[in-house]
Amino acid sequence: MSKLSYLQLNNNELVGGIPAELGKLGGLFELNLANNNLEGPIPQNISFCTALNQFNVHGNRLSGPIPSGFRNLGSLTYLNLSSNNFKGKIPVQLGRIINLDTLDLSSNDFSGPVPALIGDLEHLLTLDMSFNKLSGRIPEELGQLQNIVSLILNNNNLHGEIPTQLINCFSLVEMNVSFNNLSGDIPAIKNFTRFPPESFLGNPLLCRNWLGSSCGPYAQESKAIFSRAAIVCITMGCLTLLSMALVVIYRSSQQRDFIKESNKMVQGPPKLVILHTDMALHTYEDIMRITEDLSEKYIIGYGASSTVYKCVLKNSKSIAIKRLYNQYPHNLREFETELETIGSIKHRNLVTLHGYSLSPHGNLLFYDYMENGSLWGLLHGPSKKVKLDWDTRLKIAVGAAQGLAYLHHDCNPRVIHRDVKSSNILLDENFDAHLSDFGIAKCISSAKTHSSTFVMGTIGYIDPEYARTSRLNEKSDVYSFGIVLLELLTGKKAVDNESNLHQLILSKADDNTVMEVVDPEVSVTCMDMGLVRKTFQLALLCTKRNPSERPTMHEVARVLVSLLPPPPSKSLSYKETLTEEEVEKKINE
Which residues are part of the catalytic machinery?
419
Torsion sign (Cα): 72, 74, 75, 76:
positive
Torsion sign (Cα): 251, 257, 262, 268:
positive
- Give the span between the Cα atoms of 395 and 535, in whole angstroms: 13
Which residues define the annotated binding site? 322
Torsion sign (Cα): 256, 262, 263, 269:
negative
- Give the span between the Cα atoms of 295 and 319, in whole angstroms: 15
- Give the span between the Cα atoms of 493 and 499, in whole angstroms: 9
- Give the span between the Cα atoms of 398 and 403, in whole angstroms: 9
Torsion region of 260: left, alpha or beta (phi above 0 gives left; psi -120 to 50 gives alpha):
alpha
DSSP letter at 569? Answer: P
Q: What are phi and psi of 102, to 5 degrees?
A: -135, 125
Buried b (16+ CB within 10 A) or exposed e, 361-382: bbbbbbbbbbebbbbbbbbbee
Q: What are phi and psi of 264, to 5 degrees?
A: -65, 170
- Give the span between the Cα atoms of 480 and 543, in whole angstroms: 8
Which residues define the annotated binding site for ATP? 322
- Give the span between the Cα atoms of 51 and 479, in whole angstroms: 18
- Give the span between the Cα atoms of 531 and 374, in whole angstroms: 24
Helix (H, G, I), strand (E, B) or coil at 262: coil
